[in-house]
Structures are given as C-alpha cells and as structure tokens.
Structure 1
Amino acid sequence: MELEPKQQQAIADIISHNGAFGHLNNVYAAFQSRRDALGLSNPGTVENIAKEVQRDVFLNNLSFSGLRAELTKAFSAAPMFQVSHSLSMGSQVQPPYAYTAIYGSPKVFLQANLDNDLQFSGRFNWRWTQALISKASVQLTSQGNMVSLENDYTGSDFSASLKAINPSVLDGGITGMVMASYLQSITPKLALGIDAFWTRPAMAYPPELNVSYAARYRAADWMACGQVIPDRGAIDASYWRRLSERVEAGINCNLSFAGIGPGGPMGGPSKEGAVTLGAKYDFRSSSFRAQIDNSGKVSCLLEKMIAQPIRVTFSGEIDHKTSAAKLGLAISIDAADEAVMEQQERAASDAGSIPF
C-alpha cells in the first residue's frame, strides 16, 4: 500500500524530530547555522591551489615554437558547438594537423581531438547536480593509452575530488594511480587541504602512497599558498600579487630535500631547488607575459587581438644555460555568424555553467 505525500511527510517529521534522529538533526542544524554565519566561500581545488600564478601569470602551458594556424568555426553558443582545424610547422610537440570538436551545455561537455597520426584524445563531463560533476578522459596514442576517471564535488565552502588513472583489476589486484584531495575554507581568507596520491604500476611492485598538505591565503590583491610532501621532502610555495589594475606578478619556489639521484652523496639524498618569477600586463586589446627562472631560461608571450575574429600570438624563449632559443608565431581566426556571436555575448555571463 503506497502512502500519500502528506503521510510520507508526516512520518519524516516524526523521525526527524524525535529520538536520536531528532537530536542529530538539531546538532547538524546548529552546526550548519554557525558555519553559514562565518561567510565562507568555495576555496577552489588543491590541484589549482596556485592558479593565479601557474595559470594566470606563468606561460608554462602556453609557450610554443614554430608556426601555427588555427581556424575555429562556431555553429551555436547555447548549447555550445564548435569545430577547429589546427596546422603546425616546426614544432616538436604539436602535430602538423589536428581536428577538434567541442560540444557543451549546462549538463554535459564533450571534446574530441584527432591528429594526422590518428592519435585520439577525448573528454566527457557530466553534471549530476550543481555541485557534483563526473569527468572521463581517454588518450589513444602510439606511445600508449590512458584512461582517467574523476568525480569533483564543489560545496559552498569546500571542494573534494577523487581521480583514478588507468585503474585495473585484471592482474589479480588494483593497479594504476588514485588521487584524492580535499580543500576546506577555515576563515574567509584561509583554506587548508590535504592531497593523497596512491600508485602501483604493476603487481610486481609494492604500492606507494604520498600525502601532501596544502594551505592557501587569499586577500583582496594578493595570494600566498604552499604544499608540503613529507614523504618526498618537497616544498612548493607560490605568491601572487596584483600590482595595478592591469599588472599582476607571481613567484613560485620548489624545494626538494630528499631526492635520490646521482647528485646525492654516494646515491644518498640530494638537494634541488627551482625558482620562477613572472609578470603579466594586460593592454586594451592584448596581453604580455614574461617569466624567468633560476636556470637562466627567459620566456615571453604576446597575444594581440588584431580584429574581432583574428588573434596573433608570439612566443619566445632563450635558455642561457644551453645557449638555445625558440620562437613561435600563431594566428587564430574565430569565425561565427552574427546570430551565434549574439548568443555568445548573452551566454558569456553563464560560461561557468558548462562543466569544463
């Protein structure tokens, strides 16, 4: 016999307001009210704890060499659907030709890439709720294949993530890599987190677990964060500051005190360190980035919007230690109909709704 909605609600009220359930409900409600009174915001993720430095200022993932041309055609903005053709010459990293297709909506995101060597990579993101997103990615190349499965939960004042790379149970046990992270806001400016990395390439090798601890402090115009991995004796620290409305700078320092290698005494622990300093300047229709590290490598990147659909990018790098230099020039053209451009302008404020 099926109960009516009013009867179901009455039973739920009795359970939640009486006995142990009622006590637990009152404790949780009091804890939640005090938590809301702190005015905490989401601190981001441990993986992107230094995004102001690593992604906004530094050009480690943006630098390239050779000549490159990209043509992007947008067919729709809501939902987003676009394809692009990429041509490259003189680069040891980028393939000569690559075709990319992207589809995105508030619930699903799809991306597929295929190059001239038939090497394929793809991503699929699915939003279960506004806070929970599942992600899957795959890479099929001649050097090997990779599968990644991830679940991200974004709470009001915390972020949690669970990720597995090439998981398998076919060898009589669990192999692959598993990563779990949690970042919690303690005050409106301070956040503390933990990150665990478990790996076992094959059953013939023992599993290895590394745990790191992270802290992030974000003020109005500056940010400082750090991560400590006690098992490896590694420390990573970053500092970012907005110098003016158009200028921002950042520094990253990575120290390792327990590395095992030929540099150590008789194969014992060695000490290594790397420091990188960078700055970014935003012009009216262009941006300039530059960075230098302690090994003598100087890099710069200039992005210039010539017209609304045409963007030119110049990349340069000089390595004084090896006396090597790299230059890169890219031209990007974003083509779209007027109706699609109007959709893109209306959807710009809702860009975060697509589960990238």
Structure 2
Amino acid sequence: MEASKQELDFFTTNPVALSLRNVYASFSERREALGLSNPGTVENIAKEVQRDVFLNNLTFSGIRADLTKAFSVAPLFQVSHALSMGSQGLPPYAYAAMYGSPRVFLQANIDNDFALSGRFNYRWTSALVTKSSVQIMPGQGAMFSFENDYTGADFTASLKTINPSILDGGLTGAVMGSYLQSITPRLALGIEGVWNRSAMAYGPDLIFSYAARYKSNDWIASAQLLAQGGVQASYWRRLTDKVEAGVETNLQFVGMGPAGGPLGMPGRKEGVTTIGAKYDFRQSSVRAQLDSQGKVGCLLEKRVAPAVNLTFAGEIDHPKNTAKIGLAISIESADEEVMMAQERPGFEQASPPF
C-alpha cells in the first residue's frame, strides 16, 4: 500500500507537475486581479436588445386569455390555462404546469391538438446546469434537445445536442458548442461551432461563428460573424431610468463566395435594420419598434389590478399591406396562505435553473 501511494504521489510532487501547478496558480491570481465578470452566453449575447426591448417573443394576434393558479412559492408550483381566438400561431386551448426549486425546474404544456412540449432542468452545482427539452407534434414527429451550461467566474461554456441518434449506423443530428470569455472588465470574445448531419446519406457539416461583446456603464454593443456569410450587430443603451433603446442590424451575403449564387447567378447582399425603444411607467410599459423593411410594431402592457395584466399588441407590415392586432388578459390567483408566505419579511428563494 505504501509503495502504491508513493507512486501516486510522484504524479503530483514531481518537478514538472509542481511547475504546472505554480503556473496555473499565478495565471488564476492575475485573472482574479483583473476583476472580470461573467459575460453570459453566446446565444444570449444581444439579450438586452432582443429580449428586453424588441417584440420578437412578445407580439401576437387575436384575443388571448391566460389564467394562472399558484399553489406554492417555495418550491414554486403553478398551473395555467391559455385560451386564444383568431390567432394563427397559438392553439385555441393549452394547459401548462410548472415546478421549480433551487435545483430542479420542470415545465410541461399540452394543447387541444395533443401537441406536447416539456422541459427538465437540473442544477448540479452553482456553476453547472443541465437542460433538456422535448416537443412532440402529432403527425410531424418529435424534437429532443440536451444541453449543459457551465458558468465560470469570467466565462461561460455550453454544449448542446438536437435530435442525436445512432440508429442509422452513425451519429446524426446537430451538436453545438460555444465559449464566451471576458478579456477585460468590459470586453468579451467568444466562438461557437455547429456540427450537423441530417442523415447518413449526407456528409456532415461543420461551421464556426465568432462573437464579441462590449459593456459600458450605460450601453452594450455586440457583434457576431456568422459562418454562413453574415454579420449581426446590436447596440443597447439606457437613456434614463425608465427609457431604454436598441438597434440591431443583420446582413446576409448570399452566394458571395467563389461558387456564386444559386444557378450561377451573381451573389447579392440582404440586410435588415431594426430600431426599438421601451418606456417603463409605474404600472405599465410600452415597447415600439420599426425596421428597414417597413414593418412597425408596438406592445402595451398594463397592470390594471394586483393580479390582472392587460396586453395590447399591434403590427403593420407596409410592403405586404397587412396588419395584426392582439389583445390579451392575464389573471393570476393564489391562496391566501401562499400570498402571505411570499410577502413575509425575510422571504427569499434561490431562482430555479430556468
């Protein structure tokens, strides 16, 4: 036993191992001295513009009603009913349930056509989170994704797979890996790689894209160089305590390589620029955006009662000569004990791994 222990100690006490350990310790001390912060993920590099200002995931059409019932806040557990009418993108009825604790997050949704979607996230440590999701559409197949996110003090690494399979005699599906590292307290650089193989009859594709993010005191700029031949840049700025604005530009270079465009046609450039703003009032918020293609959109969210939210969405597409209008009401209810527990002084719960 002593001989085997001495052999194992040799791998950690030899001069080479000690030198590598000292180099790593010195490198870690210098990184800590820079005061670097976590820059987020490559996927959300422009979240301040795309999620906080723009209407990308918020606009809708028709009439919608969301009824939510909370049964507990620690852990979080609630169910909801969603009804819609006159909308092409939303089902007439959907039922959802959600459970969240500091380590586990569960969400499931089923609509009147029996389309099922679900998410399961698990936090192994404060830095490592595993996320999985599944979507089953009757008559259209299913989609499954599996993701691992590691959040370091000054970097974020992510590995994600979509519909992985080895049943065809080899690996098919899509594998995406990304890494975003803070270089200075304000600048972060990242890279993202995507490996894709739809079937064994086709060869795999491997593409890379590069990202940069610069964060100042009251503004954030980001840019991505896409492997398909495109550039995406965004700029977000907080004008006042209640007003924030953002602009985003997407440029696509179609067929600009040596092979030219489709059918030998010369390559062309396509681009869209979108500008938007958000104004927060005491009980409501207003968002508006306009793009270079002539599309105008706005969204008004107002809390008319402590548990009732009213949302109005409108969009006009001038080139297509179309318009969309949406009106939604959201009602949240909870038992008196749940509300009292949430308002209790000193109540605080760690956020679930969304």
State the TM-score, normalizing by the size of structure 2.
0.93
1:295 lines up with 2:293 in the alignment: yes
Partner of 1:284: 282
- Offset at residue 23 of structure 1 (A): 2.1
Spell out the pairing of 1:151-190 with structure 2 (5 A cutoff): 151-190=148-187
What residue identity is the alignment partner of 1:115? D
Aligned-pair identity (%): 64
Which of 105, 112, 115 aligns to 1:109? It is 105
Which of 29, 48, 53 aligns to 1:33? It is 29
Which of 203, 213, 219 aligns to 1:206? It is 203
CA distance in 1, matches of 2:137, 2:345: 35
Partner of 1:319: 317
Spell out the pairing of 1:56-205 with structure 2 (5 A cutoff): 56-142=52-138, 143-205=140-202
**Count of residue correspondences:** 349
Q: Secondary structure at the match of 2:40?
A: coil
- In the alignment, is the contact (CA less than 8 A) between 1:17 and 1:25 conserved in 2? no
Q: Alpha carbons of 1:349 and 1:291: their partners in 2 closer, same or farther (altered >3 Å)? A: farther
CA distance in 1, matches of 2:116, 2:200: 28
Q: Alpha carbons of 1:305 and 1:54: their partners in 2 closer, same or farther (altered >3 Å)? A: same
Partner of 1:47: 43
CA distance in 2, matches of 1:190, 1:349: 36
1:26-59 Cα distance to aligned partner (Å, 9 max, x none): 2111111111000000000000000000000001
Partner of 2:303: 305
Q: Secondary structure at the match of 2:24?
A: helix
Q: Alpha carbons of 1:287 and 1:199: their partners in 2 closer, same or farther (altered >3 Å)? A: same
What residue identity is the alignment partner of 2:288? A
What residue identity is the alignment partner of 2:156? S
Spell out the pairing of 1:220-231 with structure 2 (5 A cutoff): 220-229=217-226, 231=227
CA distance in 1, matches of 2:266, 2:278: 40
CA distance in 1, matches of 2:115, 2:231: 36
Unaligned runs of 5+ in 1: 3-7
Q: Secondary structure at the match of 1:30?
A: helix
Spell out the pairing of 1:204-353 with structure 2 (5 A cutoff): 204-229=201-226, 231-259=227-255, 266-345=264-343, 353=351
- Offset at residue 266 of structure 1 (A): 4.2
Q: Secondary structure at the match of 2:195?
A: strand
- Offset at residue 350 of structure 1 (A): 5.5
1:312-343 Cα distance to aligned partner (Å, 9 max, x none): 00000001111100000000001012332244
CA distance in 1, matches of 2:296, 2:38: 35
1:177-206 Cα distance to aligned partner (Å, 9 max, x none): 111000000001100000111111111122
- Offset at residue 25 of structure 1 (A): 1.7
- In the alignment, is the contact (CA less than 8 A) between 2:49 and 2:236 conserved in 1? yes
1:133-171 Cα distance to aligned partner (Å, 9 max, x none): 111100000222100000000000000000000011111
What residue identity is the alignment partner of 1:291? Q
Unaligned runs of 5+ in 2: none
State the TM-score, normalizing by the size of structure 1.
0.92
Q: Alpha carbons of 1:345 and 1:39: their partners in 2 closer, same or farther (altered >3 Å)? A: farther
Q: Secondary structure at the match of 1:325?
A: strand
CA distance in 1, matches of 2:245, 2:325: 23
What residue identity is the alignment partner of 2:212? A
Moved more, 331-340 or 298-307: 331-340
The alignment's C-alpha RMSD in Å is: 2.5
Q: Secondary structure at the match of 1:353?
A: coil
- Offset at residue 20 of structure 1 (A): 2.6
- In the alignment, is the contact (CA less than 8 A) between 1:264 and 1:271 conserved in 2? no
CA distance in 1, matches of 2:30, 2:345: 36
